[in-house]
Amino acid sequence: MQQITEEPPVWATPVDEVLERLGSTREGLTTAEAQRRLDEIGPNRLPAPTPTPWWKRVVAQFQDTLIYILLASAAAKAVLEDWVDFFVILAVAVINAVIGLVQEGRAEKALAGIRTMLSVQADVRRDGGWERVDADALVPGDVVRLRGGDKVPADLRLVGASNLQAEESALTGESVPSSKDVAVVAADAGVGDRSDMVFSGTLVTQGSGRGVVTATGQSTEVGKIQTLVDEVEPLETPLSRQLDAFGKALALLIAVMAVVMVLVGRLVHDFSVPDLVSATIGFAVAAVPEGLPALVTIILALGVQQMARQRAITRHLPAVEALGSVTTICSDKTGTLTKNEMTARSVVTRAASYEVTGIGYAPDGEVRHEGAPALLDDHPDLAALVTAMARCNDAVVRRDDSDGWTLVGVPTDGALRTLALKAAFDDTGWRRVDVAPFDSQTKYMATLDHGPDGDARIFVKGAPDRILDRCSHQRAADGSTEPVDRRWWEEHIDALGGEGLRVLAAAVAVPEPGHETVGDGDVSEGLEIVGLVGIVDPPRPEAVAAIAECRRAGIAVKMITGDHAGTALAIGREMGIVHGSGVGVLTGAELEEMSTSQLRDVVRDVDVYARTSPEHKIRIVSALQHHREVVAMTGDGVNDAPALTQADVGVAMGIKGTEATKEAADVVLADDNFATIERAVEEGRRIYDNVRKSVLFLLPTNGGQSLVMLVAVIFGTTLPLEPVQVLWINMVTAVTLSLALAYEKAEPGIMDRRPRDPRASVVDLAYGWRILVVSVLIGGATLLVFNLAYGAGVPIDEARTAAVTMLALGQLAYLFNTRYLDASSLTPAVLRGNPAIWISAATMVVAQIAFVYLPFMNTWFESAPIGLEVWGYTAALAVAVFLLVEAGKAVDRLRGVHGEIEP
């Protein structure tokens, strides 16, 4: 009983047959029968997912190669009985796990958000009478009564409707309420076209009706979306994939080299076991970049703070970087690219065509003719149209101190009310006598009004074809009345429709003297059409600019909407989404007929997808991901939640977005501004640059240290560094120098780059060579300093202290190389823009001076004081390292090895 599986579906079946199929009548069920079904089917609510045990969630946070490396570093320090550093590194791993636990569970929260959409109570017919029950108690076969303002408690097949309209934008993406009636629709009709159905969680905006429950709980359309969210597997971000692969490769390399060291040291040079163990541990500790996981976490956390200041709230830490990898943005139309506020844009009368400026419900704008303001006193044709649209209207547009201008009523009426305000229409003295409300069958509204002069008028507005059917005359250009020229009006209706506008027509009539009512008989014929109004849900101006900026950055933008194809295509052209020789628009019905491979063939060429369902959105995102596109999906309705979960980055609207959508998203825009996405992408690119700078800094510094140990063992010489000294240089570098890179600002031209290849490693071949070269330069300089000192008869502790100092100063010099990935650092700008660089440098130098001269440091780390001449030549060698690295960067620029940064 829970889900109707018979053919044809309920929306394509006459009411009486649906009732018979459900074992019900128009009088509903008995209480006993309803209880029996409730016991059999279960309550009308979405089931909560089975929670993951806490211990599994904790263990999952440590299942990462970088965390393994971190724990291996801690284990190495424990072997060396360096308990302070052991606990510090272990604390980093625990903090990483805590952050993961806090950010985890967006799918579960999304389901909870969707569950809140079910209404609390419903009017249901039981035992021949109406009673108020909890919506949880509804079962298939119950007959439910609906009125304006009600939230629909379950999926219902209408058995009766009077002027019924429902707001379904959260489910279908349509910006205007859907008219409802009992007439059957086609079996293949999409959710947005099932006019004889109302759906759980949607809102009745006007009218009344009755319906029989056809689905409850998880079998409703909202419940099906829950299932889709639940089934989608969250994807790793490009950075997490790259770092994971990089970590595995690095761990394997360290293990291989450690084995080589042990074999060579034992078999070739006959090292004692204690010395060999000490050297191997020193090598491993030197090679493992234990600061990298913590540094990446810090960089991402700082990015979260920066994005929050730009009105983008990040719910999932790695999503900060993933935004910088985006190659395609798939955006919902209603409320995301557009304002979700219907706006009159064009007015057509027999005398002239008018342009209406301004967007939304705020009366900021005017009516213009040939570039000049059109005053009602100077344009009687316009005055007649505005009067009809303003009087035949139940909407109220008012200013709210917190939300600006808000609408109470139907969006189309709101657009016409705002049009009247822009035209400075004054309805003082007008009085409504009677009204025939809008009816979805007749598709018009009519009012009988008395004007300031006491004359009675009938005003009618509605669908232009229905209005024209009732008109015999038209308001002529000179203000007189003449026979209607239907072909002329139809041409203008088609022209407005071709621009993606929803068209309404207005007509007037003079009632018989003393007439006090208005009904269908009063407006069935003989009306005088006065004009047309073209209405649209307007694009956000800032979104148009943001789309252009995204295209400049090499990011494709695609619109996925539940709206009609013509409207969607027109908005797409206006926003700059539709361009070139692409396919243009693809409808949900056309997509339904395509196989997965066929969709993959065209998905990158299509700019606009119209009349789509949640399943379609997931297919589109998946098809793009098949081409290794990194996809960001934006949306605000429940119908967007599954696709947001499927996408690499889900972006929800914070103001008009549903709770389910916000919980499913990685990023929530606090200002509902598409332009914020563009700024977030720029921030993501900056963050990725900083992560890569951190890798390019830490690996050569670790490489130089490990190279010193490796060369000593391979050639059987005295170890230039003790393991405890390796720990010192790692600690002072990780705590000071590397942290400064987290605060680097965006490099010039960062949005002129093409999106990076998500398949590429975080360190490509060219950067790999740089890491190797810098490792050799720093390691070679350290070996040179040690061997010169030790060979000259300097005590071993002093020679090793000189080697540690060389490592520290060499890494400091290389830090300035790393501030610019490819551009030259031989510029005064390298000394500006990041105060953290100088704070870190000063901290490191002070710490190194303490390492050299403080007696307790000499005891702990086996160091010894050195003379000023040692500081002098180690500093000179550090400058030499800086200049040689800059020479290598210059060669790379000449060869163009980093083409991705070119515009």
Backbone φ and ψ for 80, nearest 5 degrees, come out as -85, 0
**Cβ neighbours around 845 below 10 Å, total:** 15
Which whole-number Å values give the CA distances from 862 to 81, 724, 725, 855, 865, in the listed order? Answer: 15, 8, 8, 10, 11
Beta-bridge mates of residue 852 = none
∠ CA 403-407-409, nearest 5°, is: 150
Nearest one of 406, 413, 403, 356 to 382, comparing CA atoms: 356
What number of residues does the chain have?
A: 903
Distances (CA, A) of 329 to 310, 316, 651, 901: 19, 18, 10, 21
Residue type, 202: T
Cis upstream peptide for 8 (omega within 30°): yes
Q: What are phi and psi of 531, to 5 degrees?
A: 160, 180
Residue of 457, 476, 605, 585 whose CA lies nearest to 530: 476
Burial 176-186 (b: 16+ CB within 10 A, else e): bbbbbbbebbe
3-state SS, residue 115: helix
Contacts (Cβ under 8 Å, ≥6 apart) of 898: 766, 821, 822, 892
CB atoms within 10 A of CB 607: 23
SS3 per-residue string spanning 731-756: HHHHHHHHHHHHHCCCCCCHHHCCCC
**Sign of the alpha-carbon dihedral angle for 209, 214, 217, 221:** negative
Distance CA 408, CA 628 (A): 45
Distance CA 872, CA 889 (A): 26
User: 844: how many CB neighbours lie within 10 A of its CB?
Assistant: 21
CA atoms within 13 A on the CB side of 310: 21
The angle subtended at Cα 790 by Cα 785 and Cα 791, nearest 5°, is 100
DSSP state of 763: S
CA distances from 231 to 34, 224, 225, 651 (A): 32, 11, 10, 19
Q: Which two tokens stand for residue 784?
A: 């040179």
Integer Cα distance of 255 and 261 in angstroms? 10
Which pair of structure tokens corresponds to residue 80? Answer: 């060396």
- For residue 86, the SS3 value is helix
So which residues are the catalytic ones? 332
In whole angstroms, what is the distance from residue 134 CA to residue 34 CA? 13
Q: Which of 505, 495, 435, 496 is nearest to 470 (CA)?
A: 505
Mention every residue, 6+ apart, whose C-beta is less than 8 A from residue 532. Answer: 346, 347, 348, 349, 464, 489, 492, 493, 496, 503, 504, 505, 506
Cβ-based neighbours of 43, under 8 Å, separated by 6 or more: 136, 137, 217
Buried-exposed string 511-543: b where 16+ CB fall within 10 A, e elsewhere = beeeeeebeeebbeeebbbbbbbbbbbbbbeeb
